[in-house]
Amino acid sequence: MAYTLPADKTVKLQIAYVDANGNPAAVDGVIAWSSSNPEIADVQSLPVEKGAEGSVVQLVPGTTIGNCQITAQADADMGEGVRHINTLLDVTVVGGEAVAGVITPVGELEPKP
């Protein structure tokens, strides 16, 4: 899945897990979120709601436009062991709403008629 985020906006991300048949499934412990390039976009923790254990975060654009990948890592083994499950989201940060302009001379100088 891919998501386009304007550089002047934020959005919440939520993850839900399913089993092989598409039924809701639980994971063990807190979900670890990360970004492949925080200068493009990063995730910020939100207050944990009862039973949510980090399933919702805030996606915040950085200072650079471009592409990055958000990862949510959890432990799918509900027992003593650990089996990591990684869920990925491709994010493209694009320019936000215009707030200023730049005038640039173009072409060669020409003689005055």
CATH number of the domain residue 70 falls in: 2.60.40.1080
Number of domains in the chain: 1
State which residues form the domain around 40. Answer: 2-94
22 Cβ contact list (under 8 Å, min separation 6): none
Q: Is residue 110 part of a domain?
A: no
Q: In this predicted model, what pLDDT tens digit does every residue of 5-19 receive, in sequence order?
A: 999 999 999 999 999
What are the C-alpha distances in Å from 38 to residues 35, 43, 52, 70? 6, 8, 24, 9
Which of the residues in the chain have pLDDT under 70? Answer: 1, 49-53
pTM: 0.83
Please report whether residue 57 resides in a domain: yes
- CA proximity to 43, closest of 29, 30, 32, 27: 32
Is there a domain that residue 108 lies in?
no
**Residue 46 covered by a domain:** yes
Residue 24 lies in a domain: yes
**What pLDDT is attached to residue 78?**
87
* Inside any domain, residue 107: no
* Res 112: pLDDT: 93
Pairing of strands 84-94, 2-6: parallel
Residue 58 belongs to some domain of the structure: yes
- Within 10 angstroms of residue 31's Cβ, the number of other Cβ atoms is 19
Query: What is the structure's pLDDT at 42?
Result: 97
Rounded-to-integer distance, Cα 98 and Cα 102, Å: 11
Bridge partners, 58 (sequence order): 12, 44
